[in-house]
Structure 1
Amino acid sequence: MSFTVNFTTRWADFDANIHMRHTSYNDYAAEVRLRYFKEKNITIKDFGKEKIGPILFEENTRFLKEIHLGENISANVKVLGLSRNGERWKLQHEVFNEAGKLSAVITVYGAWLDLVKRKLTVLPTKFQELFKDAEKTEDFEEIILKK
């Protein structure tokens, strides 16, 4: 399943050079992830009830093309990697400018955190399908957990 969100940019997204501020790209990527979870009928409240939450170990942004003041954008999410038990995941976001040109690629490496034990965990059974139908990148790989 392909998942893309269109956004109207805001004045606050831009810097003194009149192009999109570097952290705005990551803010939109995070918003796409939350909307993807909601599309799968999992909200932040659901995570809270289960006392579990997503955490990031690493976030990398590669800038390719400027997004200028007043341009609208679209951003997607694809699964780049997943551990067999679903505990850890790598996601890729592509951000496109208003003309549809690829402007940035954001990769995030994360896991699920038990908010009580403060340790990594797997998703509850009812959430296990979260990334099953998600679009995978061409270079998708299984994340091998070291013991």
Structure 2
Amino acid sequence: MSYSKTYTVRWADMDPNVHMRHSAYTDYAAQVRLEFLADQGFTMQHFAELKIGPILFREDTRFLKEIHMSETIRVSAELGGISADGSRWRIIHTLYKADGREAATVTVDGAWMDLRLRKLTLPPPELVAAFSGITRHATYADIVREKKPDA
């Protein structure tokens, strides 16, 4: 499924150079990710009940065009990769200006954490299915996890 949301850039998103501050790009990416999960039934309350939550290992932003106050932007979420067990994933967000030009991409690599044990965990099958249902980015590649050698 193709997933995106439209937002109006706020005063709080601006920096002294009168364009959107660098960290606001990742804020909008995180917001669309969480809205996608909520739309699939995985609200923050449901995550709390499951005692798991998403965590990030890496967040990379490419800035392509300036975004200014009160502009309308569209932020998409596409699957960049997922491991066979759904424990690791990559989401690629594209921020588009109102005229359709790409303004930035935000790539995040993440996993799921058991909130009680504070350790990585496997997600429930329904969550794997929800993530697997996101439209695949043109650069999609399966995430292959290497086995750790026995200690």
TM range (shorter): over 0.9
Determine helix, strand or coil for the equivalent of 2:46.
helix
Aligned residue number for residue 47 of structure 1 = 47
Q: Residue 141 of structure 1: SS of its match in structure 2? A: coil
Show structure 1 runs of 5+ residues with no match. Answer: none
TM-superposed CA distance for 1:132, in Å, is: 2.2
Q: Is the 8 A contact 2:82 2:132 kept in 1?
A: no
Q: In 2, Cα distance between the equivalents of 1:65 and 1:99?
A: 12
Tell me whether 1:106 sits opposite 2:106 in the alignment.
yes
Give the Cα–Cα distance (whole angstroms) in 1 for the partners of residues 38 and 51 of structure 2.
17
Q: TM-score, normalised by structure 2?
A: 0.94
Match of 1:115 in 2: 115
Counterparts of 2:59 and 2:116, CA distance in 1: 25
Aligned equivalents of 2:31 and 2:25: distance in 1? 10
Q: Normalising by structure 1, report the TM-score.
A: 0.96
Q: Give, in whole Å, the separation in 2 of the partners of 1:132 and 1:144.
A: 15
Count of residue correspondences: 147
Aligned to 2:12: 12
Which aligned segments of 4 or more residues in structure 1 are displaced greater than 3 angstroms? none
Aligned counterparts of 2:68 and 2:128: Cα–Cα separation in 1? 39
Q: Which string of whole-angstrom CA distances, capped at 9 and with x for unpartnered residues, describes residues 6-47 of structure 1?
A: 001110101111111000000000000011001111101111
What CA distance in whole angstroms lies between the structure 2 residues aligned with 1:100 and 1:19? 18
Q: Secondary structure at the match of 1:75?
A: strand
Percent identity of equivalent pairs: 44
Normalized per residue, the structure richer in strand is 1
- The reply to whether residue 138 of structure 1 matches residue 132 of structure 2 is no
Aligned partner of 2:70: which letter? G
Q: Is the 8 A contact 2:77 2:92 kept in 1?
A: yes
Who is 1:35 aligned against? 35
